[in-house]
Amino acid sequence: MTYQEALEQISSQAKFGIKPGLERMVKLLGKMGNPQDRLKFVHVAGTNGKGSTCALLSSVLTAAGYKTGLYISPYIIEFRERMQICGQMIPEEELASLTEELLPLIHEMEQEGDSLTEFEFITAMAMEWFARSNCDIVVLEVGLGGLFDATNLIKTPLVSVIMSISLDHTGVLGDTVEKIAFQKAGIIKEDGDTVVFPRQEYGAMEVIREVARQHNNGFCVAEPEEMENIESDLFGTRFVYRGESMQMPLIGEHQVLNAATVLAVLGVLRRKGFQLPLPMVAKGFAQVAFPARLELLSKNPIFLLDGAHNPNGVQALAAALRQYLSGHRITAIMGMLADKDSHASIGYLNGLLDQVYTLTPDNPRAMQAEEFASLWQDMGVSAKAAESPRRAVELALEHAGNDGAIVVCGSLYLAAEIRPIAIEILKEKSPSA
């Protein structure tokens, strides 16, 4: 089986719509010999900040010499980003081989009346690859929710991490932050340790605290106050932690809070025997790479790519735009999925944007570009649907001119589409950009 054939087989699985529950994963992983039971995990759930936090943790653990697995979703540049070891994506031939090996089990389950989703298939494959590779530790990002997520078949992790919680996927997870927090806190297991993002809504924090108490967990709320002399610009964030100077290429106040959460997790891991000296932590922070999170593609003109796709994420983006682009005319390229709260999201950006070019993201749940443009127009913002991602980039560059700034946001799917096109056009425009 070739790599492309493997991708076709994986994508042929249903993406959504199968009833929630872990029974299918229990059955599949049982047929595979339960590879997850041979691994140690840091399990990360939350509405926003999961990806950046996982990338930081993986980078630090790798810098400290541990064979570190990383499982994330969705991908931005290519599918293999979803499973990595020490920053290296799964080789194409290994992914093809694993797919070929697991397909008979998938088909066997289908004959038994148990059809698997694409995410379940990929999660099982990742568990097998990490186990065969003898990873020392795996940083495991939840796909959706927590309680019934396919990743939640693991035993008590080294640390359960609950990141920022807000209203998203309300049709699946619930219509209040308390209900959503209960779903996210479903990753907390008996006699473990839980670390929580510092700025949760009161109701969400109380739910997480109670679930942790019921499961006899150590409970730690991250303390950003331990980070001193914080400075940030478009090129990165710098701070001092317990006397050690650190810097990371991630920017925005939300990334400072994510970093504080990572530092709290590392503290728990130290107590469990992991050797994580501060110079290695600093090295891991400096080396982290995570595309489409306020990623600076060009400084002349300023061109930022961000995956903010729900109200909480867009609020954080708006704060960053005020911080870093004050005085600049900002042109946006945006598209959103129809099941997101687009009205609330664009409300946070109202007054910040000079011009918006809308696109339809490459996803069956996408809001049409024309409909999205009309939402902006109703708010009195100049907006126009662009016929293609390439045309949107060209129009945005033309409108922004030399002294403006461009930001792409609204959907990780859109960010993935735009990124290679923007890099190519920016290189043509200014080879040194």
Express each pLDDT in 333-380 by its tens digit: 999 988 878 888 889 999 999 999 999 998 888 999 999 999 999 999
In this structure, which amino acid lies at residue 335?
G
CATH 3.40.1190.10 residue window(s) in the chain: 3-287
Percent of the chain with pLDDT over 70: 96
Tokens representing 3?
A: 């790599």
Residues 6+ apart with CB under 8 A from 313: 48, 307
Within the chain, which residue ranges are assigned CATH 3.90.190.20? 295-429
* Chain centre to alpha carbon of residue 365: 19
Distance CA 406, CA 420 (A): 15
- 399 to each of 246, 354, 408, how far by Cα in Å? 37, 9, 14
The tokens of 414 are what? 């859109």
Task: Answer for the pair 66, 40: CB distance below 8 angstroms, yes or no.
Answer: no
Contact status, residue 231 vs residue 295, Cβ threshold 8 Å: no
C-beta of residue 163 within 8 angstroms of C-beta of residue 47: yes
Per the structure block, which two tokens stand in for 13? 């699985």
CB 123 within 8 A of CB 71: yes
What is the pLDDT at residue 322? 94
Span 53-92, pLDDT tens digits: 999 999 999 999 999 999 998 888 899 999 999 999 999 9
- The residue behind tokens 């400072």 is 256
Q: Where are the beta strands (DSSP E) in 46-130?
A: 68-71, 83-85, 88-89
d(CA 384, CA 358): 6
Name residues whose C-beta falls within 8 Å of residue 225's C-beta, 6 or more positions apart in sequence: none
- 361: number of CA atoms within 13 Å, CB side? 26
List 384's β-bridge partners, or say none.
357
* Under 8 Å between Cβ of 369 and 359: yes
Compute the distance between CA of residue 368 and CA of residue 415 in angstroms, rounded to an integer.
Answer: 16
Dist CA 388 CA 382 (whole Å): 18
- The domain defined by 3-287 folds into UDP-N-acetylmuramoyl-L-alanine:D-glutamate ligase (3.40.1190)
Superfamily of domain 295-429: Mur ligase, C-terminal domain (3.90.190.20)
β-strand pairing of 68-71 with 137-141? parallel
| Among 41, 268, 269, CA closest to 157 | 41
**Regions of the chain with pLDDT less than 70:** 15-19, 167-175, 431-433
